[in-house]
């Protein structure tokens, strides 16, 4: 079946329908990862977006459900150059096309993703429509796309009730917990939980709109603020609760959206990037050591450099490519945050030592 990708600038790409066949309007973003397509599809940070995979062949090692980063797929749509219909992998349980159909996600293959990515890089992220309707009215579609906005997606992806994980779950070794971590779920990936379980943490995951008092009531050794989708400045009530957590002096480690929300809670400003950072090969520099790490990233917003009081926080990491802020250390507080994903699943493990730094911070505070 034919399918079409229509961009809000009027550009139209034609291809073949994969997955579900209903029409969808979404924000079109691109990811440069060569592998990890299942982890991309099940990353809640993509809620409200349709993903373009720049690598030309997707699905060649199939789908292994054990590798899912959440219980379902989250993107509105999926756009590829070529889809593999005969996956080859001893772990494969399904094809990517079957997975898309089962998850009710429309997709399109046969698209010149190189040309599409160039458009998004030059003109910036824009809305688009995936449709199988060959008789679409371009003028009407363009009007519909102008109205689309990514809103209230954190509420969509967060857990509905709190849940506690113990070491031994999610494929980790069963040991006696040594630390209790409260995790605010803004759209978390399983590997963030797994990374804490592997280090002997009992992890209690809370819905995004949980009050700070309810979290602090459990007297956690540390608090984790997770990744998630959407515009951080929209999360007004969440930011107010993070302010209370910050004042509690409980050790806090934040990733991606959590990093942005903590910055906003301390007077910083954020802005939407032209086309964002999405992929598994983004270099970040540790300003305290001069070392450069390759990181996995997925974000369309960034903390504006210099917008936070220098007496409150200092820049910990920067992006080597565009010098944007990639991490902050809060002065006089046991709080540090990063824009990239140290749990990186899939992706490089260069920076997973940050979880060890979090463990050490909790230990130091406990002994104080």
User: For the domain that residue 38 is a member of, what is the CATH number?
Assistant: 3.50.30.20
Q: What is the pLDDT of residue 71?
A: 95
- pLDDT of 368 over the 70 cut: no
Same domain? For 130 and 229 the reply is no
Which residues partner with 53 through β-bridges?
31
* 60 labeled binding residue: no
Same domain? For 90 and 173 the reply is no
Give the alpha-carbon dihedral of 49, 70, 151, 230, to 10 degrees.
-70
Average pLDDT of span 289-297: 97
Average pLDDT of span 71-78: 97
Q: What is the pLDDT of residue 365?
A: 72
Residue range 306-346, pLDDT digits in tens: 999 999 999 999 999 999 999 999 999 999 999 999 998 87
* 45 labeled binding residue: yes
- pLDDT of 53 over the 90 cut: yes
Residue range 126-180, pLDDT digits in tens: 999 999 999 999 999 999 999 999 999 999 999 999 999 999 999 999 999 999 9
Tokens 């990639």: give the residue: 326
- pLDDT of 269 over the 70 cut: yes
Q: Return the sign of the alpha-carbon dihedral for residues 15, 17, 22, 28.
A: negative
Q: What is the pLDDT of residue 367?
A: 65
Q: What is the pLDDT of residue 345?
A: 82
Q: How many domains does the chain have?
A: 2
Residue range 37-52, pLDDT digits in tens: 999 999 999 999 999 9
- In which element (H, E) is residue 201 found? strand 201-207
Same domain? For 142 and 280 the reply is no
Same domain? For 92 and 9 the reply is yes
Same domain? For 244 and 121 the reply is no
* 260 labeled binding residue: yes
Catalytic residues, by residue number, are 256, 341, 343
* Domain carrying residue 21: 2-150
Same domain? For 182 and 318 the reply is yes
Residue range 346-363, pLDDT digits in tens: 789 999 999 999 999 999
Same domain? For 114 and 158 the reply is no
Question: Is the bond preceding residue 351 a cis peptide, omega within 30 degrees?
Answer: no
β-strands 163-165, 106-109 pairing: unpaired
Same domain? For 134 and 158 the reply is no
- Alpha helix segments (H runs only) across 25-178: 37-41, 96-102, 113-123, 138-146, 153-157
Size of the chain, expressed as the number of residues it contains: 368
* 306 labeled binding residue: no
| 121's tokens | 């890089």
Same domain? For 76 and 23 the reply is yes
Contacts of 218 (CB under 8 A, 6+ apart): 180, 182, 204
Same domain? For 282 and 318 the reply is yes
């Amino acid at each position: 079946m034919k399918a079409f990708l229509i961009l809000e600038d009027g550009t139209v790409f034609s291809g073949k329908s994969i997955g579900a066949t209903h029409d969808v309007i979404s924000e079109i973003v691109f990811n440069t990862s060569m592998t990890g397509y299942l982890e991309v599809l099940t990353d809640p940070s993509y809620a409200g977006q349709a993903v373009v995979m720049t690598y030309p062949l997707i699905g060649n090692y199939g789908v292994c459900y054990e590798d899912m980063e959440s219980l379902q797929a989250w993107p509105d749509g999926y756009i590829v150059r070529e889809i593999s219909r005969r996956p080859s992998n001893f772990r494969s349980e399904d094809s990517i096309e079957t997975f898309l159909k089962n998850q009710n996600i429309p997709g399109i293959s046969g698209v010149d993703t190189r040309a599409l990515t160039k458009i998004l890089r030059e003109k910036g992220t824009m809305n688009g429509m995936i449709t199988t309707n060959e008789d679409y009215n371009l003028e009407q579609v363009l009007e519909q796309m102008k109205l689309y906005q990514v809103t209230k997606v954190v509420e969509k992806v967060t857990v509905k009730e709190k849940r506690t994980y113990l070491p031994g779950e999610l494929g980790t070794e069963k040991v006696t917990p040594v630390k209790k971590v409260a995790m605010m779920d803004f759209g978390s990936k399983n590997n963030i939980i797994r990374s804490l379980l592997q280090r002997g943490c009992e992890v209690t995951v809370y819905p995004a709109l949980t009050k700070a008092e309810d979290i602090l009531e459990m007297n956690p050794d540390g608090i984790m603020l997770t990744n998630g989708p959407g515009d951080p400045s929209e999360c007004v009530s969440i930011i107010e609760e993070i302010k209370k957590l910050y004042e509690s002096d409980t050790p806090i480690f934040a990733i991606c959206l959590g990093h942005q929300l903590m910055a906003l809670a301390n007077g910083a400003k954020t802005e939407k990037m032209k086309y964002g950072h999405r992929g598994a090969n983004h270099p970040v520099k540790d300003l305290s050591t001069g070392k450069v790490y390759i990181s996995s990233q997925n974000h369309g917003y960034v903390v504006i450099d210099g917008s936070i009081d220098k007496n409150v926080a200092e820049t910990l990491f920067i992006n080597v490519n565009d010098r944007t802020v990639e991490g902050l250390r809060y002065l006089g507080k046991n709080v540090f945050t990063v824009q990239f994903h140290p749990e990186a699943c899939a992706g490089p493990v260069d920076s997973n030592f940050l979880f060890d730094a979090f463990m050490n911070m909790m230990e130091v505070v406990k002994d104080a």
